[in-house]
């Protein structure tokens, strides 16, 4: 409904990234409201989807893998092997964790390049598939807090297309900081809300896709977040598409 001069002003809320009281409603899509921080540009669902909403979405039968089936498995395996090659200097004879590993395709590719590769995912079906098809790797099916309690750290951590899915940055970021060795490296990919290819009307951007994608970062908000958790940018790849592709180093 259009606002009128009689409507009370909407009070800003604290930004989950920079903590400034600068986040205000931006738009709604698919029944979810998004806010944007005027200070750092962070774009996020406010409120985030509940655990029950996310469980209902991700546990639809059509989305659920099994030990014997993973959608588009052959192409995923091929693309993972090709993609893994640019990380060869980082994974050769290194301990590696793919966090949010799905069916284990990247972990399997890293193992073929000489890594001691592991994968973490909360999906029972995904991990069942990964264990059956990539036996050289170690896989864990548990939530972030349970995995953190193992106190395992890795030379190289891989997190691809995960950050935008989680309802709030802190649980994942706490985990990334806990599992990356001091001085170790972390690769992150996630949509780039500040990219020139993002439509001027952000609501039309396909990566705004709740409840699957619930938070989106520009370069400033991403740097603020990772700095807060003890990381600095080691290398940022150029990308013609609206996506971050960054290697961070965890400060020793």
* pLDDT tens-digit series, residues 164-206: 999 999 999 999 999 999 999 999 999 999 999 999 999 999 9
Beta strands in 21-133 (DSSP E): 23-29, 32-37, 43-45, 95-99, 116-121
pLDDT digit string, tens, across residues 114-154: 999 999 999 999 999 999 999 999 999 999 999 999 999 99
Residue at 100 is within a domain: yes
Q: Is the pLDDT of residue 104 over 80?
A: yes
pLDDT at 241 (0 to 100): 96
Residue at 175 is within a domain: yes
Q: Is the pLDDT of residue 2 over 70?
A: no
HSE, CB side, 13 Å, CA atoms: give it for residue 204.
Answer: 5
Comparing 219 with 252, which gets the higher pLDDT?
A: 219
* Confidence bin at 5 (pLDDT 50/70/90): low
Residue at 42 is within a domain: no
Q: Report the helix count and the strand count for the chain, using DSSP H and E.
A: 8, 11
Residue at 243 is within a domain: yes
Distance CA 35, CA 13 (A): 9
Residue at 21 is within a domain: no
* Confidence bin at 3 (pLDDT 50/70/90): very low
Mean local confidence (pLDDT), 100-104? 98
Assigned token pair, 86: 């640019």
Residue at 1 is within a domain: no
* Confidence bin at 6 (pLDDT 50/70/90): low
pLDDT digit string, tens, across residues 73-87: 999 999 999 999 999
Between helix 124-133 and helix 105-112 the angle, nearest 10°, is 30
pLDDT at 7 (0 to 100): 64
Residue at 194 is within a domain: yes
Number of neighbours of residue 33 by Cβ within 10 angstroms: 14
Q: Residue 234: which CATH number?
A: 3.40.50.150
pLDDT at 140 (0 to 100): 98
Q: What pTM does this model have? A: 0.94
pLDDT at 61 (0 to 100): 78
pLDDT at 139 (0 to 100): 98
pLDDT digit string, tens, across residues 24-53: 999 999 999 999 999 999 999 999 999 999
The residue segments making up the domain with residue 114 are 67-250
Q: How many domains does the chain have?
A: 1
Mean local confidence (pLDDT), 226-238? 97
Residue at 195 is within a domain: yes
Q: Which long-range CB contacts under 8 A does 25-28 form with residues at least 24 apart?
A: 26/202, 27/202, 27/203
* Confidence bin at 58 (pLDDT 50/70/90): confident
pLDDT at 9 (0 to 100): 72
Beta strands in the chain (DSSP E): 23-29, 32-37, 43-45, 95-99, 116-121, 138-141, 154-160, 180-191, 215-216, 231-236, 243-250
Question: In the 8-state DSSP scheme, what is residue 71?
Answer: T
């Amino acid at each position: 409904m259009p606002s009128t001069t009689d409507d009370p002003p909407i009070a800003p809320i604290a930004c989950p990234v920079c903590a400034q009281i600068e986040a205000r409603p931006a738009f709604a899509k698919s029944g979810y409201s998004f806010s944007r921080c005027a200070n750092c540009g962070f774009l996020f669902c406010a409120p985030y989807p509940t655990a029950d909403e996310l469980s209902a979405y991700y546990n639809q039968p059509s989305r659920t893998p099994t030990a014997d089936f993973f959608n588009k498995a052959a192409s995923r395996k091929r693309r993972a092997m090709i993609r893994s090659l640019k990380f060869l200097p980082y994974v050769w004879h290194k301990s590696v964790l793919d966090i949010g590993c799905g069916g284990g395709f990247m972990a399997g590719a890293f193992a073929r390049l000489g890594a001691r590769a592991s994968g973490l995912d909360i999906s029972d079906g995904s991990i069942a598939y990964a264990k059956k098809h990539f036996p050289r790797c170690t896989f864990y099916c548990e939530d972030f807090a349970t995995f953190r309690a193992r106190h395992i750290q890795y030379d190289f951590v891989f997190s691809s297309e995960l950050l935008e899915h989680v309802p709030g940055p802190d649980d994942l970021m706490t985990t990334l900081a806990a599992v990356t060795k001091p001085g170790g490296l972390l690769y992150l990919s996630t949509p780039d809300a500040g990219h020139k290819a993002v439509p001027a009307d952000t609501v039309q951007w396909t990566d705004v896709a709740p409840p699957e994608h619930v938070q989106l970062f520009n370069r400033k908000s991403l740097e603020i977040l990772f700095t807060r958790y003890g990381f600095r940018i080691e290398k940022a790849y150029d990308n013609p598409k609206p996506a971050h592709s960054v290697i961070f180093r965890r400060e020793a």
